[in-house]
Amino acid sequence: MDNLFLFLTLALIAEIAGTVGGFGSSLFFVPIATYFLDFESVLGITALFHVSSNLTKIAFFRKGINTMLLIYLGIPAVLFVVLGAWLTKYINSHTLEVALSVFLMITSIFFLWFNDVTINPTKINAISGGTLSGFIAGIVGTGGAIRALVFSAFQLNTNVFIATSAVVDLGIDASRSIVYWQNGFVHQHDLYLIPLLLVISIIGTYAGKIILQHVSEKQFKKIVLILILLTGIFTLYKLIQ
């Protein structure tokens, strides 16, 4: 790969921002990786990278896990990520990239404009959020923003929030990794990136944990949303060009 150092540096930034923002690194990593790899390879590598990233988060934020959310949000998320990942085989990759850029822009603008939006902490909303976030994660590679919104409704402390999200993500990414592999999205010549990204996930998660101890989470999430918006705009601009 050309510019491997730049790729890994941006992946590290994505991991740190994903940890602090609570969205997960894929929200940033997927559009970044499309500048270096074709979109199908991005989906495969992202899923494998996120498996190691989630294991790292569980290790660093293991203070507690919300079992109720794991059941009512996690199970639908895993089921529907398989459906979304399976559908990618039948959808043009350019269409998926456009969908990703539009999704990033709509999500960031919505959360920036309605910064006080809340969701009632009910089982139905947990199931709905898991279904939607899982399906979108399968289709475009990331659904963490939706899941983070649902999690925030349950007013979890930081450690429980990140640990629970990581366990759900682990199930999502392990499931879609299998489907992407069967779809031929995981290529042998890209596998050398996995151990490098494993190191990145450890360093990035640890750095994110330190930042969370010193920076207002609300302020940082606003910065994160602006970065998401810019990422969506630049991704769409690249596709138009």
Residue that wins the pLDDT comparison between 19 and 131? 131
**Phi-psi label, residue 22: left if phi above 0, alpha if psi -120 to 50, beta otherwise:** left
Question: What does pTM read for this prediction?
Answer: 0.75
Rounded Cα distance between 195 and 190, Å, is 11
- Under 8 Å between Cβ of 229 and 109: yes
- pLDDT by residue (tens digit) across 166-223? 888 888 888 888 888 888 888 888 889 989 998 999 999 899 889 888 877 677 777 7
Q: How confident is the model at residue 11 (pLDDT cuts 50, 70, 90)?
A: very high
Mean pLDDT over residues 25-50, rounded?
85
Mean pLDDT over residues 227-232, rounded?
80
Average pLDDT, rounded, for the chain: 83
Rounded Cα distance between 159 and 11, Å, is 23
Mean pLDDT over residues 8-24, rounded?
85
